[in-house]
Amino acid sequence: MLDSLVVLGDAEKVSCLSKRLSAEEGAFAAFCVSGAAKPYREGALLCFFTGTIYRRLDASLPAGSPGETLLAAWRKYGEDFLNRLEGKFILAIADLEAGRLFFARDHFGGLPLFYCLGPDFAAVSGRLSPLANAGLVPKALSRAGLCDYFSLRYIPAPDTIFEGIRALLPGHCVSARLEGGRVVAEERCWWDVDCRSENMDYNYDRCKKNLREAVLRSVEERLFPGANGVFLSGGIDSTIMTGAAATLLGRTIDTFTIGFHEEAFDESPRAKIAAEAHGARQHVYILNYDEALGELDHIISGFDQPFADDSAVPTWVINRFAAEQGVTNVLTGDGSDQIFAGSNKYFIRHYVDKLMRVPAPIRALARAAVFSLPDNSARMRKIRKVMNCADMTPYEMRRRMLQLCLGDEELGYLLMGKTVDPANDTVARIYRVNRDVTDELTNTLYVDLKLMVDGCMMAKMGSMSRLAGVNTHAPLTSMAVLQEAFRIPPEFKQRGASGKIILKDAFSDVIPPELMTASKKGFMPPVASWFRGPLLEDLKKELAPERIEEIGLFDPALVTLLINEHVSRKNDRAVVLWALYVFSKWYRREF
């Protein structure tokens, strides 16, 4: 398992670490933290692997254990072996004789890999804590990581919460060698989607056919002997996963749905329609969110670094529910919204354009009225977002849609001016990668794929499924689907305020008609109510002025003001308070 800490270093570094960790002999040492599983070994080669291999593109490779397959591919192809297989994995290969360490992430499976490099060492682990506590680098907080967290609610690669420790981007690898007591390391991208406009396919029927074939093939590769399940909400994506899996399996498949007592938010009736349409065995867990209060610390501790997307709560519950039913291989529809422009955020230009057709004096009056009303509903927040975006450039608009916690100005207030340059942060850098070679919507989808899907959605599902002992798989982020999706022109995906056009069309035979145009209901944990009721005392303890002073990062007066505004219902501050609350608990655990 790559929960181990693997280190390449000079003799002095090795000697220092080996007092606390078990060592493998050779030109350098690979160290495993106490209790971690041993690596697969063949002679001087060690293979650390976590994940699943879905397919081997070279039939001559052995179909034994992952370690056996990977080392055979390594010997045959060198670093290019990554192009000979597809899976959901992180790996490290150590050559004890050559003094070499190679580590990589799959193309987009969602498993994180952390590393740090110094003049005399290279170290890697699938968990953040072993690196942060190994003494290789000072344990200090990263300013970039903090800005990511309090802006986005999560920390996307390559940033982490710790200075000097990086997260490897999907489809990237690092090769490090020990040469004369020094470590020489090089990072490179071995796989990425091609979203250049010049390579798009403008034949709609061919795009639809290729997309359907890619999705079906990817689902099939992620089905395993024994019980297979699908997390089914009744939405487009999970319904497609259910229909494809049931058809390919040719037998009953288990589906898992979270239901709610509040009818306005309960999607289980829609899930029932999808399950019955495909002969699935539906399992519904009716969740009373108050029951989750006692498990918040457990859920928060399931992440390597601060993570403030409160939908982690239902994600944990549904993974635990599947595990209790004995189903440990589950398909999800994750990634579809960000690949096929399916969520409301991608319609912002449409709504802004409609707003700008209203005469300026009337817009001004409407804005004054909207911002004089209480900020206490999702609808009001959406209206405010549209109005705030009216005078922004396309990039500023997309950036603000990503900032689900604090905007740049508010972030500066919270962190007392100690922020990174927003013109060169992770969002800005990734936005520039394809800005000049593709259209604005496709570039936005690429940014969200790298940031939101990998950094938030996959991190959330991966952490919560690992906590529950479930192995989740996302066919819509396979190599084949991503390659086809980014060859599809934007007009085939979105029209006005309608998204996923071609995906719905490609699978119109497996989506019941009544679900085809159903809007998402969505239901997040009632954090706003919790912070005025059962969690108020704990919130005040975690964010007390003396506690904030101890942490030394935030303006104590501002934090107190946020609490008072929320409790008095002057403003809904649940999002930023949840981020602060989670951070305080994480900080207490780590420091």
Alpha carbon separation from 90 to 127, 173, 389, 470 (Å, rounded): 11, 10, 39, 17
Q: What is the pLDDT of residues 318-346, one digit of tens each?
A: 999 999 999 999 999 999 999 999 988 89
Q: How far apart are CA 247 and CA 428, in angstroms?
A: 43
pLDDT value, residue 287: 85
Q: What is the pLDDT of residues 362-373, one digit of tens each?
A: 888 888 888 888
Is residue 540 over pLDDT 90?
A: yes
Q: Of the ranges 82-86, 223-227, 551-555, which one carries the lowest mean pLDDT score?
A: 223-227
- Per-residue pLDDT band for 354 (boundaries 50, 70, 90) equals confident
Q: What is the pLDDT of residues 374-398, one digit of tens each?
A: 766 667 777 888 888 888 899 999 9
Q: How far apart are CA 453 and CA 222, in angstroms?
A: 19
Is residue 21 over pLDDT 60?
A: no
Handedness of CA 572, 365, 411, 523 (dihedral sign): positive
Backbone angles phi, psi at 7, to 5 degrees: -125, 135
H/E run at residue 386: helix 378-389
Distance in Å from the first CA to the final CA of the chain = 26
The answer to whether the beta carbons of residues 420 and 382 sit under 8 Å apart is no
Q: How far apart are CA 349 and CA 490, in angstroms?
A: 13
Q: How far apart are CA 72 and CA 47, in angstroms?
A: 11
Query: Which CATH code for domain 197-342+454-516?
Result: 3.40.50.620
Q: How far apart are CA 32 and CA 40, in angstroms?
A: 12
Determine the average pLDDT of the residues in 556-582: 95
- CA 98 to chain centroid, in Å, comes to 35
AA letter at 346: Y
SS3 at position 221: helix
- Average pLDDT of the chain, as a whole number: 91
Total H helices, total E strands in the chain: 26, 17
pLDDT value, residue 557: 95
Region(s) of the chain under CATH 3.40.50.620: 197-342+454-516
Is residue 27 over pLDDT 80?
A: no
Cβ-proximal residues to 305 (8 Å cutoff; 6+ apart), any chain: 128, 145, 149, 155, 160, 161, 162, 586
Q: How far apart are CA 113 and CA 128, in angstroms?
A: 8
SS3 at position 285: strand
Q: What is the pLDDT of residues 58-104, one digit of tens each?
A: 888 888 889 999 999 999 999 999 999 999 999 999 998 888 999 99
- The β-bridge relationship of strands 228-231 and 254-260 is parallel
DSSP secondary structure code for residue 455 in this structure: I
Region(s) of the chain under CATH 3.60.20.10: 5-189
The answer to whether the beta carbons of residues 313 and 299 sit under 8 Å apart is yes
DSSP string, 88-144: EEEEEEEETTTTEEEEEE-SS-----EEEEETTEEEEESSHHHHHTSSSS---B-HH
DSSP secondary structure code for residue 81 in this structure: G
pLDDT value, residue 299: 95
Alpha carbon separation from 397 to 341, 364, 392, 554, 590 (Å, rounded): 15, 19, 6, 27, 36
Among 120, 88, 139, 108, smallest CA distance to 7 is for: 120
Answer yes or no: CATH 3.30.1330.30 is held by domain 5-189.
no
Q: Which structure tokens are listed for 200? A: 């798009």
Q: What is the pLDDT of residues 477-504, one digit of tens each?
A: 999 999 999 999 999 999 988 999 999 9
Backbone angles phi, psi at 437, to 5 degrees: -120, 0
Peptide bond before residue 158 is cis, with ω within 30 degrees of 0:
yes
Q: What is the pLDDT of residues 394-451, one digit of tens each?
A: 999 999 999 999 999 999 999 999 999 999 999 999 999 999 999 999 999 999 999 9
Handedness of CA 529, 535, 536, 542 (dihedral sign): negative
Is residue 348 over pLDDT 90?
A: no
pLDDT value, residue 34: 45
Per-residue exposure over 345-380, b if at least 16 CB sit within 10 Å of its own CB, e if not: bbbbbebbeebeeeeeeeeeeebeeeeeeeeeeeee
pLDDT value, residue 20: 54
Q: How far apart are CA 456 and CA 150, in angstroms?
A: 13
Q: Which structure tokens are listed for 122? A: 């290279």
The answer to whether the beta carbons of residues 73 and 61 sit under 8 Å apart is yes
Cβ-proximal residues to 573 (8 Å cutoff; 6+ apart), any chain: 562, 563, 565, 566
Q: Between 11 and 4, name the one with better pLDDT.
A: 4
Per-residue exposure over 283-295, b if at least 16 CB sit within 10 Å of its own CB, e if not: bbbebebeebeee
Q: How far apart are CA 25 and CA 44, in angstroms?
A: 9
Q: What is the pLDDT of residues 106-149, one digit of tens each?
A: 999 789 999 999 998 999 999 999 899 988 899 999 999 999 99
Handedness of CA 30, 31, 32, 38 (dihedral sign): positive
pLDDT value, residue 225: 86
Q: How far apart are CA 95 and CA 91, in angstroms?
A: 13
